[in-house]
Amino acid sequence: MKADTHPDYHFITVQMTDGTTFQTRSTWGKEGDTMALDIDPKSHPAWTGGNRQLDTGGQVARFNKRFGGLTLKK
């Protein structure tokens, strides 16, 4: 097996959006660095069941919006 082929695996501190922290092992950063999360399971709507933004209208609605006024009159 080749030596020095694996990345450095060390302890870092992860800071959640609400300020709580925990330690884990990672290849990110250097030993003792702090990773501050922008989105985490405590704040993301996918995990909290909050409001979702739905696409208002599909392809047909967009087509009608663009070309709804056109007619084929003789």
Instruction: Give residue-wise pLDDT tens across range 47-66.
Output: 777 665 665 677 888 888 88
**Residue pair 22/13 in contact by the 8 Å Cβ criterion:** yes
Average pLDDT, the chain: 84
Contact assessment for residue 34 and residue 28, using Cβ atoms and an 8 Å cutoff:
no
The burial of 20, by beta-carbon neighbours within 10 Å (0-12 exposed, 13-18 middle, 19 or more buried), is given as exposed
Residue 37 CA neighbour count, 13 Å, CB half: 17
Answer with the residue of higher pLDDT: 32 or 73: 32
In this structure, are residues 39 and 17 in contact, taking their beta carbons and an 8 Å threshold?
Answer: yes
Residues in the chain, overall count? 74
pLDDT score for 62: 83
| CA 50 to centroid of chain Cα atoms | 15
